[in-house]
Amino acid sequence: MIRSIQAISLRVALVMCCVMLLGGAAEARSFPELADLVETAGKAVVNINTEKQAVQRQPEQRFRRNDPFNDFFREFERFFGDQTRRRPQRSLGSGFLIAADGLIVTNNHVIAEADVIKVTLHNEKTYNAKVIGRDEETDLALLKIEAKESLPFLSFANSDRARIGDWVVAIGNPFGLQHSVTAGIISAKGRSLGSGPYDNYIQTDASINPGNSGGPLLNLQGEVLGINTAILASGQGLGFAVPSNMAKSVIEQLQSGKAVRRGWLGVTIQDVDENTAKALGLDDTAGALVANVMPGEPADKAGLKAGDVILKINDDAVVGTADLLRRIAQVQPGKSATLTIWTDGKTRDVRVTVGERSKDKLAQMDEDGTTPDGSEATESALGLSLRRYSREEARQLGMREAKGLLVTAVEPDSPADGAGIQAGDVLLSVNQRPVNQPEDVAQIVEREGRARGAVMAQIVRKGRAFFRPIPVE
């Protein structure tokens, strides 16, 4: 009987071992097979070498006062001119073909200021490339080579459908090591690195190094999810790629030979924090708060005003200011968009014809009467000392006219102090209501602020308008 039990136990143990081994094998098989993908997609990845001629001045020849060679070198320089020498500076990067006729996508910083651009294909053939177009704000560039044969190329994936945790593959030329392959997962989406207004990077732990810039980040179908663009030098496993959906619209415009056009509303915006939401009666902190509206621009024509919160664009929720900037930029100038806004305590839809963003308009946005009666009042609930101000003071404060109230003092440790209000700021409105007398502020605080627990102050500082929520004690 004991032997029988032992035999049964042994058989059970063997079965369990087999199950564990089979389970381990199944788990091992769950890892993606990448060899076929790399063999196919890798043929469309290229190595980019650039060269520019840097002018280097020869060191100035200095001689002693009575040196016999002085006269010789003076005559030499007078005859031959100032002597300089040109030293080539070289750099390496990656790219990938997007059409059989030789169109190549890479990063703008890979080919910026280059005098010569050479592209080497997977078969070691090298071609001179010309720049079709470039876009500094998304760091993208489009090149063209002339090859006699039809070339392998890659297609773009829908980066919006990519999920955190999806497997990805990067192919490029790190440190000049051609066609190096690394694999990992998508670590995050929508990353901002502070490099520009349209930061929206895919973060990956697939190893990306200098020389990978401009190469593709691929999904398991061999489609381009992003263009590898940046790394954090202080960390490992932190690579960043421009999403394919953002790149596609830019590349299409560059391919047509046109400058990249971006949508424009003509507003300054800021994120909605907890106190802002409380002051405006919003349920959460999503959306973008309109801090200022430029006269005559699309938002002004559509009826938007300072203090409105843009919640959606074309029924897609707006997460924050960066999200709104990207979405508006992708709307072609002249096209219409529907904005869902929070205004005066309720939502409504506004139809706006999007304008075109330009450097002149950005510069204008960065710029930004009455006679004072000399009286000054303190709003104790907020901790502000306020008074009207003169036209001359308005000019000094960067205001076009003397409207609103000048903040003359802020009580230490008061709600206004905690909100970052400073002496010298101009208070334009409270809860979207213009304030022209200190009494106006007191009435709004008493009537609305105490019920909501906060008020929304519109401030101008050095010509720039923005909002600050101030808790009401």
Q: Residue 470 and residue 379: Cα distance in Å, rounded?
A: 12
Among 94, 180, 187, 213, which one carries the catalytic annotation? Answer: 213
122 catalytic residue (yes or no):
no
Q: Is 2 annotated as a binding residue?
A: no
Task: Please identify which of the residues 91, 94, 109, 425 carries the catalytic annotation.
Answer: 109
**256 known member of a binding site:** no
Establish how many alpha carbons lie within 13 A of residue 57's alpha carbon, considering only the half-sphere containing its beta carbon. Answer: 5
109 catalytic, yes or no? Answer: yes
CA 401, CA 395: separation in Å to the nearest integer? 8
| CB neighbour class for 78 (10 Å; exposed up to 12, middle 13-18, buried from 19) | exposed
Residues 6+ apart with CB under 8 A from 21: none
- Whole-number Å distance between alpha carbons of 19 and 159: 39
Flag whether 413 is marked binding: no
Instruction: Compute the distance between CA of residue 17 and CA of residue 149 in angstroms, rounded to an integer.
Output: 56
d(CA 212, CA 184): 15
**Which of 139, 308, 323, 440 is labelled catalytic?**
139
Q: Using CA atoms, how far apart are residues 255 and 263, in angstroms rounded to an integer?
A: 19
Q: Is 213 a catalytic site residue?
A: yes
Q: What is the largest CA-CA distance in the chain?
A: 118
Q: Is position 360 annotated in a ligand binding site?
A: no
Burial of 427 (0-12, 13-18, 19+ CB in 10 A): buried
Task: Consult the annotation and say whether 234 binds a ligand.
Answer: no
Cβ burial 214-239 (10 Å sphere, 16+ → b, else e): bbbbbbeebbbbbbbbbbeeeeeebb
304 annotated among ligand-binding-site residues: no
Q: Which residues are 353's β-sheet partners? A: 336
CB within 8 Å of 43: residues ≥ 6 apart:
122, 152
Q: How far apart are CA 309 and CA 306, in angstroms?
A: 9
* 229 annotated ligand-binding residue: yes
Confirm or deny that 338 is annotated as ligand binding.
Answer: no
Let me know: does 32 contact 220? Beta carbons within 8 Å.
Answer: yes
* Residue type for position 213: S
**230 appears as a binding residue in the annotation:** yes
Q: Please give the annotated binding residues for substrate, written as ranges.
A: 51, 109, 139, 211-213, 229-233
| Binding-site residues | 51, 109, 139, 211-213, 229-233
Q: Which residues are catalytic?
A: 109, 139, 213
